[in-house]
Structures are given as C-alpha cells and as structure tokens.
C-alpha cells in the first residue's frame, strides 16, 4: 500500500494536525489550504469533517452538521465522505455547559447513521484521529468499494439534486412530475415564476395541484 497526500484546512492551523500528519509514516505530503468543504482531504478525493466533542454537540443543535454532510456528499460522494469526532462515544454522558442531554446526542447519532448512513468515527485523541484518517485513505487506494446510499429521508434533503428535492416537497406531487417540470421550466428559479395556466399544461397537474405548487413555492417556509 502506498503513502497518502493530505490537505488540511487552514482554519485547523491552531491544532496539531499538521505536525501529526507530517510525522506519520504513511503520509507522503501535508499541505494547508482554505477548504470549502471538510477539514481534511486525502489524495484529493476523500473528505473528512473533524469535530471536537463540543463542536459536534453544537453542530447538532444548530443543524450545521447535516449541511456539512450534504456538502461533502455533493462534492465527494457518500462513499468518500466521513465525520471524525475527537472523543470517545461514552464521553457524551457528561456535556459541560450545555442543556443538550446525552440521550439527544445518542439519538442524533442513530438518526444520521440510519438516514444518511453516515456513522461518525470516534477517536480518543488527535493521534488516533490522524492514524484513522490515514488508514482510511490507504484502504481507498486499494479500490475498496464503500457502498453508501444517498440520504432519502433526512430532515434537510431528499436527494443530491436541488430541483428534484424542491419538486418532491410539493404536496401531492410525486417523482413522475420531476422530469416534465424540469423539461418545461429548467430551474427552480423559473419554476417559481410559473403561472397556474403554465403548470396545468403538464399532464397530471390540475388546477388544484397547480395552486398548491404556487402557494408552497411562495410560502415563508
């Protein structure tokens, strides 16, 4: 197995990640960049979102973690996206300075594991985190297939296609209307300007459904 190349987000510069990767026997090179997605990228194609215990809890509370997972899935694919938490699973039994209960954290971990098939990796210290990330990168270089389905029932997304996600949120509109609506309007922006008469030209969309689509497109939600 070969060595791996690592890029670390510049905002991680205060941590000791750079030195730990540099000193790892299986790391060929380490660089820092301002990353748009994730905190660590291995071999240019495997992304890791690194969390401390506190950051993991806060990103659950404000739902930021789901957005981060979705961004990783969109750019790198589900099979090459990981969340790594620098703590032990049982450490959530005590969460200082937080009203978030351990049960809430464990329930959320179960939720993203089931809905997204994103099972967080828990590492007890930075050294173990670096070693786990490096080993995963090496395993991917062996052409190991990690099969992960897209999140189809998460609170924030129905697929990686924004137009499709939007259409599937309309009450009474199913998958069979995605392609006809896309063919006619092309984008969510154009769809949002659609009139009732335009929508009813699509087979299976009557006046009632058209009114619902328009109403839901322009609702506060």
pLDDT at 148: 62
Asked if 124 and 72 sit in the same domain, the reply is yes
| 166 and 124 co-located in one domain | no
CATH number at residue 180: 1.10.150.20
> Is 59's pLDDT higher than 80?
yes
CA-derived radius of gyration, the chain: 21
Contact 76, 40 (CB under 8 A): no
Whether residues 175 and 126 share a domain: the answer is: no
Indicate if 129 and 171 belong to the same structural domain.
no
Each residue's pLDDT tens digit, 110-140: 988 888 889 999 999 999 999 999 999 998 8
pLDDT of residue 142 exceeding 80:
no
Q: Which domain holds residue 198?
A: 162-217
Number of structural domains (the chain) is 2
Share of the chain above pLDDT 90, in %: 43
Higher pLDDT, 2 or 113: 113
Instruction: Give tens-digit pLDDT for 185-218.
Output: 888 888 888 999 999 999 889 998 999 898 888 7
At residue 217, the pLDDT reads 82
Q: Which residues of 25-53 are buried (b: 16+ CB within 10 A; e: fewer)?
A: eebeebeeeebebbbbbbbeebbbbbbeb
Q: Which residue carries 């506190």 as its tokens?
A: 54
CATH number where 18 lies: 3.40.50.10130
Residues 107 and 171 in one domain: no
Residue 7: is its pLDDT beyond 80? yes
Interval 77-102: pLDDT, tens:
888 999 999 999 998 888 776 677 88
Assess whether pLDDT exceeds 50 at residue 159. no
126 and 175 part of one domain = no
The reply to whether 79 and 178 lie within a common domain is no
Q: Are residues 63 and 170 in the same domain?
A: no
Residue 1: is its pLDDT beyond 70? no
Residue 153 falls inside a structural domain = no
Any residues with CB less than 8 A from the CB of 48 and at least 6 apart, and which?
38, 39, 40, 41, 42, 82, 83, 84, 133, 136
- Residues 123 and 27 reside in one and the same domain: yes
85 and 129 inside one domain: yes
Bigger pLDDT: 115 vs 5: 5
């Amino acid at each position: 197995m070969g060595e791996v190349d690592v890029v670390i987000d510049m905002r991680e510069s205060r941590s000791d990640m750079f030195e730990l990767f540099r000193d790892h026997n299986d790391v060929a090179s380490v660089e820092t960049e301002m990353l748009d997605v994730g905190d660590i990228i291995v071999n240019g194609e495997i992304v890791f979102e690194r969390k401390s215990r506190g950051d993991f809890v806060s990103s659950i509370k404000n739902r930021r973690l789901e957005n981060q997972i979705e961004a990783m899935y969109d750019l790198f694919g589900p099979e090459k996206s990981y969340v790594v938490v620098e703590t032990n699973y049982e450490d959530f039994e005590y969460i200082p300075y937080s009203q978030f209960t351990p049960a809430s954290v464990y329930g959320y971990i179960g939720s993203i594991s089931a809905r997204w098939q994103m099972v967080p990796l828990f590492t007890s210290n930075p050294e173990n985190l670096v070693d786990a990330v490096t080993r995963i990168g090496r395993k991917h270089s062996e052409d190991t297939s990690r099969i992960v389905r897209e999140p189809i029932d998460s609170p924030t997304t129905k697929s990686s296609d924004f137009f499709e996600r939007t259409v599937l949120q309309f009450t009474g509109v199913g998958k069979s209307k995605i392609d006809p609506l896309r063919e006619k309007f092309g984008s969510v922006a154009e769809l949002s300007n659609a009139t009732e008469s335009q929508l009813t030209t699509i087979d299976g969309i009557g006046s009632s459904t058209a009114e619902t689509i328009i109403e839901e497109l322009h609702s506060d939600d």
